[in-house]
Amino acid sequence: MPPHRQAVAVACKLGQTMLSYRDITKHFGSSLFDKDFQSFLTNTFSDLTEYNILESDYIISDDKGIELGFTNPDAVYDDDDNIIFEKGNPIFSHFIIYPRSAKLIDNLPFDTNFMDSRFAVITKAGNPIQTQEGYANFLDKNFLVDNYKLNDIVITFDYDAEKKTLNHIQIRDNNLVEHLKV
């Protein structure tokens, strides 16, 4: 049995809830403060960080290996002086999953897994609609990402640029994340 499927089997035996990536996308467009979304977060994660727009657009679960991202165009803040004038209304719009997400997610896009190379992902998913590669100054390293689009959902596979191995997967609502729109 492949390692990612073994993790699923172990989690099922332990009675943990396993989700597909689609289960999480169903919450796109929800306000962070919506009762139903808060219930989903509480029932799924035990270690989420607090939302703080001055620090990040994400709340993070290290245990589950996921970053839940928000768009918040209504927020008014000065990040130089660390002052929030208006908290706005954070809307769930994207998330990033990492290899340790196998504790949570048993069905990745295109039936991929974190053991897949870029070649394997392209074999399963087809040719990407957009590939971006180059050098990122702020990361001080080369990058390589492939983007796929399923209706209004964009799936980005981020690879180690040299080894062509999968680092993480970002899944986002193409209508909610304006600066990343494909």
Computed over every residue of the chain, the mean pLDDT equals: 87
Burial environment of residue 7 by CB neighbours within 10 A (0 to 12, 13 to 18, 19 or more): buried
- Report the predicted TM-score, pTM, of the whole model to 2 decimal places: 0.84
Say if CB 37 and CB 25 are below 8 A apart: no
What 8-state DSSP symbol labels residue 126?
-
Find the DSSP H helices in the chain: 3-13, 21-25, 35-44, 118-125
Average pLDDT for 93-97 = 96
Tokens read off for 72: 């918040």
pLDDT by residue (tens digit) across 23-52? 999 999 999 999 999 999 999 999 999 999
Average pLDDT for 3-11 = 41
Average pLDDT for 69-77 = 91
pLDDT by residue (tens digit) across 119-155? 999 999 999 999 999 988 877 889 999 999 999 999 9
Kindly tell me if the per-residue pLDDT of 89 is higher than 50. Answer: yes
